[in-house]
Amino acid sequence: MSADAKNPEHPQTRASLARDLITLGVVPGDTLLVHSSLSSLGWVCGGEQTVVQALLDSVGPEGTLVVPTQTMDNSDPAQWRDPPVPEDWWPVIRAEAPGFDPRLTPGRRMGRVPEMVRTWPGAVRSANPQTSFAALGPRARTLLGHHPVGCRLGEDSPLAALERIRARVLLLGTGFDSCTAFHLAEYRTPRPRLEECGCAVPTPDGGREWVTFTDVFLDEEDFERLGGDFEGTGAVESGPVGEATARLFSLPGAVAFATNWMIVNRDS
């Protein structure tokens, strides 16, 4: 069950959620990048396990399910703001934080559904120590096999691979502020803002080390406004899944719209 659901109209089941997803427009063979809020769905009999099963039912055996499993806490403590830590802790964190392990490191603040996918038998996870994805399905290894440290959500990330195969995005009870696909557009603006990044990574001998790199600054502050404008074009299918409002749309279409939108609406 989803323990956070309040005043549900009726229980949600694997069959009822799969039926709602199909009514929304999910079809067998789809590759879906899913952002989810379990509590928004209502009282789910079986909780996150049921939701993952319903998603897999809706895309079928030829479909692929992808979720974000980010670990943005594996970052330079000098940049932490929510909450910050004392400056004299920074060297200790850089020296002692465990290196990212796709098999062991849990996602942070991603929710219960992505964590269920990450630990599902046969799941594949990409190797980026901050912005990894996990996937189930026949395309999982191809989509997630290349994700270098220095490209969190750009052209060498699974986002670009998802764009190439014309995947779709499913916002399952979440807002556009969680739409990771919009970040790919940030890499395609003429003068993207850059930042210095740091994280702990494993070494071939089984140890760990702290590495630094420069990458595009990831900023979702205006994603709700961007998403509202995108939805206003008619490119988004929306409807109920359980007791949540769900949105389904083309990932390439969203990235193309977001790129043009950012060029016009963001400060250089």
- Domain map (residue ranges) of the chain: 14-92+105-191+220-265
pLDDT number for residue 3: 44
pLDDT number for residue 216: 98
Q: How confident is the model at residue 82 (pLDDT cuts 50, 70, 90)?
A: confident
Task: Please compute Rg for the chain using Cα positions.
Answer: 19
Tokens of 216: 């595009």
The dihedrals phi and psi of 247, each to the nearest 5 degrees, come to: -130, 140
Residue 202 β-bridge partners: 208
Instruction: State pLDDT tens for residues 125-155.
Output: 999 999 999 999 999 999 999 999 999 999 9
pLDDT number for residue 109: 85
pLDDT number for residue 6: 56
- What pTM was computed for the model? 0.93
Tokens of 192: 């993207």
Closest CA relative to residue 127, chosen from 24, 224, 199, 218:
199
Write the secondary structure of 156-214 as one string of H (helix), E (strand) and C (coil). CCHHHHHHHCCCEEEEECCCHHHCCHHHHHHCCCCCCCEEEEEEEEECCCCCEEEEEEE
Neighbours of 133 (CB within 10 A): 29
Q: How confident is the model at residue 81 (pLDDT cuts 50, 70, 90)?
A: confident
Q: Is the pLDDT of residue 7 over 70?
A: no
The average confidence (pLDDT) of the chain is 95
Q: Is the pLDDT of residue 268 over 70?
A: no
pLDDT number for residue 108: 87
Instruction: State pLDDT tens for residues 203-245.
Output: 999 899 999 999 999 999 999 999 999 999 999 999 999 999 9
Cα angle value 255/58/248 (rounded, 5°):
25
